Amino acid sequence: MTTDFRDQLSVLMEDPTGFRMFKAVSFGKFSLSIQASYGHYCSPRKTLPNIADYNAFECMLMENGEDINPMEDPRFAGVVDSWNDIGCFVPVFQVQALFERCRTLFVTEPPKGS
């Protein structure tokens, strides 16, 4: 059964202007930051109370605290079709694919040195 990434998001902070940050979702050595508010590259680009109402999110992918560009990392081949320093306006289905790939890699990748 697939876990919807949106069910894993919890608010880290929200200020009175509506700028909001979600906690990164962690998978062992992988972290996936998924953001949506008026200050992020999401669609619509405003702070909505229901995160299911977004059709695209701002994302950042990290391994051991270092940024990963999934367009350049073969472990994430074919998951996203656009990425700069961060993922801007990443469609829901691609965020879900990143979430699933991180979860799969955490379960299947052997520790370094083994």
- Split at pLDDT 50, 70, 90, the class of 24 is very high
Tens of pLDDT, residue by residue over 68-79, are 999 999 999 999
- Expressed as residue numbers, the domain containing 27 is 5-108
| Cα–Cα distance, 22 to 24 (Å, whole number) | 6
User: For residue 46, is it within any domain?
Assistant: yes
CA angle 51, 23, 42 (to 5 degrees): 40
Beta-carbon contacts of 17 under 8 Å, excluding residues fewer than 6 positions away, are: 38
User: For residue 86, is it within any domain?
Assistant: yes
User: For residue 66, is it within any domain?
Assistant: yes
* Residue, of 85 and 6, whose pLDDT is higher: 6
Does the pTM surpass 0.85? The reply is: yes
| Cα–Cα distance, 51 to 42 (Å, whole number) | 11
User: For residue 90, is it within any domain?
Assistant: yes
CA angle 90, 54, 91 (to 5 degrees): 20
Q: For the chain, what is the domain count?
A: 1
User: For residue 114, is it within any domain?
Assistant: no
| H helix or E strand, kind and range, residue 80 | none
User: For residue 113, is it within any domain?
Assistant: no
User: For residue 34, is it within any domain?
Assistant: yes
User: For residue 92, is it within any domain?
Assistant: yes
